Structure 1
């Protein structure tokens, strides 16, 4: 089984939604029913991460836990995630120091790196690292019994939400902990084993839909972290339903120009995410960019999407080209040494 292009298309929609989410103010977002679509971008992306990685594990027929945590596999995962992030982080560090003259201490520099740098969504970098390294455990759990894994992740996620709320966990800590997303990741793992719609989940989807509506439109204040009141265990059946719907409607082909563009955006989604993080962060040190916020929301959204996609895709291909050349050079050197 080859690459599932439908996942690339959904990842493309998710990353465009992230850009829209950071373009609109809350009132406008609510007016376009954003809580039901663009606000679900990160849960959708994490579900797709679980689905995609488990599909990869299944294709390779990997069931050995030692393999998942071998030095070679750890290095591959770290390289894929940390090389593009480090490039972005160094750029941000340079801009911050050169524009403000602020001298950063070594401890401060180290903390900014492990916290994902600066900009909206920076928490996602340490979060996705936790997800990628934790997924093999969920995968092996699901290999034994997918439903038990799903119930287990729900209980863990539910218990974490209650603990975070009643212990007054600061948002600065809460946002980095992947346990707040473990159920939606579990749904992605479950989907890899059970791709068809589970009718029992209709109840969960209805509850999630009612919950999201109550939080955003009727002032409901549940016992959850207030900054993420509609992105938690109670709401996750809704993004699951969105993905199921998308997979059922999209075709696993890329014959048209539009499909090829969306495929490219999906492939470059991580680099686009890093790009939008820097782009929106740049509104702070460069006041001239704030002029864009004077534009109507739709015009602003178009500009933001266009610029973030162009620079993000360029970033993806440049990194791919550079490290492809480095790989070729290292292979040539190793051949010369061997001969």
Structure 2
């Protein structure tokens, strides 16, 4: 009986693989949209509202999160369709949760550890100062249990939405396979119900605690269910001219009219001075962005093989890691300047350069992190991750400390190391072997620790002490690399 059961399970697994391979679809349009939207997210977190309000951002820049939500539903719908007609229990399989844990939870935990340490360092290892300076009163302790980082950065609110969607998606997909029209309607109903609960049971915010409670609702995936539901609906057919999508020709002009009124005429739905709809993303906003997604799916190529297209696709696939890396980066900026809005008055040449610098910093490092996470060798993933985060935060420290024309020697050593690593991996294209990589990562880590000690513990006249352990580990790394090279001959 056991052999028969195992044989049946093996056949099911093989069939699932065959179905996946035969029905596998690639949508360049999705990667293009995700890549474009992550540029807008970084823009949004850098440009203050006083500047953005004059730029009509509701119609072009604030579409980033709605588009991501629609694509979230679209991608999961397409992914589940590859499995064929399976039960809800099979959708909630261990392989499903394992893939999501590796894709989302593990990188989050890595960021949690790294950002907390960097935050403590920047606040003099005073956890109360970090909590009060970076996190409170906008956020409360309760938010730490749903995916907020102690060393907060903009965009953090979207992480709980992603995590909760992992639990919801199989159920939502199954509902759409059984009763698609009813399921889509219920997505709107549930979201509207969430808005009404906030309005009637909380109403006007009169305390930080009430604000924290509203944030709990606004970081719930149910608060944005209509956007995800539209994406799930499109996964079963995204032809803009098909009868099943004719309702979008009705919802789109309504949503567009609301967006225009919201942006240019300060239109808000209020009752007794209290907003009926909380936040910038809701069922009156989503159809506009959803329609743009349909246009992209129709008019952009489904496949594109050029070099630029491959770069776009890689950025699109790396958007989660880019989001995480910019949370850390903007968090560090907030710790230094008290705000992450580096552009708060106009768009002069210097501000444009700041914006370009942010894109050139966050996006490549996010892509590198994504590529590191795709490596099969666990040790190499760990070593490369240590390298990535040390170099990333060091570049930001350089921008902070360089403005006062002083940079600690360990930081300069890290930057020289980063240049050498860049040449080795991407110009010469001869990455170090694992043993040598371990030695040089140890050197980099020691140098970073010495920098932390110099900045937080040692007196200025004691800075020379840091060079002793750095020199020792450097010698070991050089000798070890030579021996490793000789042994390979």
Which whole-Å CA distance do the structure 1 matches of 2:141 and 2:246 have between them?
Answer: 50
Shift of 1:189: 0.6
The answer for the alignment partner of 1:320 in structure 2 is 374
* Higher RCO (CA-CA < 8 Å; seq separation 6+): 1
Shift of 1:16: 1.1
SS in 2 for 1:31: coil
Cα 1:75–1:155 shift into 2, 3 Å: same
TM-score when normalising by structure 1: 0.87
For each residue in 1:247-276, what CA deviation from the matched residue of structure 2 results, as whole angstroms up to 9, or x when unmatched?
112112232222111101001110001111
The answer for the alignment partner of 1:178 in structure 2 is 221
The answer for the alignment partner of 1:302 in structure 2 is 356
1:1-339 maps to which residues of 2 (within 5 A)?
1-100=24-123, 101-103=125-127, 112=144, 114-117=146-149, 118-168=152-202, 170=211, 171-197=214-240, 198-223=245-270, 224=275, 228=279, 230-287=280-337, 293=343, 296=348, 297-321=351-375, 324-326=376-378
Which whole-Å CA distance do the structure 2 matches of 1:242 and 1:138 have between them?
Answer: 23
For each residue in 1:184-243, what CA deviation from the matched residue of structure 2 results, as whole angstroms up to 9, or x when unmatched?
000001001131222322221111111122222212221557761x31111111011110
Shift of 1:26: 1.9
Q: Relative to structure 2, which stretch is displaced further, 267-276 or 15-24? A: 15-24
Contact 2:26 2:303 (C-alpha < 8 Å) held by counterparts: no
For each residue in 1:283-302, what CA deviation from the matched residue of structure 2 results, as whole angstroms up to 9, or x when unmatched?
12234997954873433322
The answer for the alignment partner of 2:6 in structure 1 is none
Cα 1:328–1:292 shift into 2, 3 Å: closer
Which whole-Å CA distance do the structure 2 matches of 1:103 and 1:256 have between them?
Answer: 49
Question: For this pair of structures, how many residues does the alignment match?
Answer: 324
| Runs (5+) with no aligned partner, structure 1 | 330-339
The answer for the alignment partner of 2:425 in structure 1 is none
Contact 2:48 2:342 (C-alpha < 8 Å) held by counterparts: no
Which whole-Å CA distance do the structure 1 matches of 2:92 and 2:198 have between them?
Answer: 29
Structure of higher CA gyration radius = 2
Q: Relative to structure 2, which stretch is displaced further, 46-55 or 62-71? A: 62-71
Root mean square deviation, CA, Å: 2.7
| Runs (5+) with no aligned partner, structure 2 | 1-23, 131-139, 203-209, 382-489
Contact 1:183 1:233 (C-alpha < 8 Å) held by counterparts: yes
SS in 2 for 1:193: coil
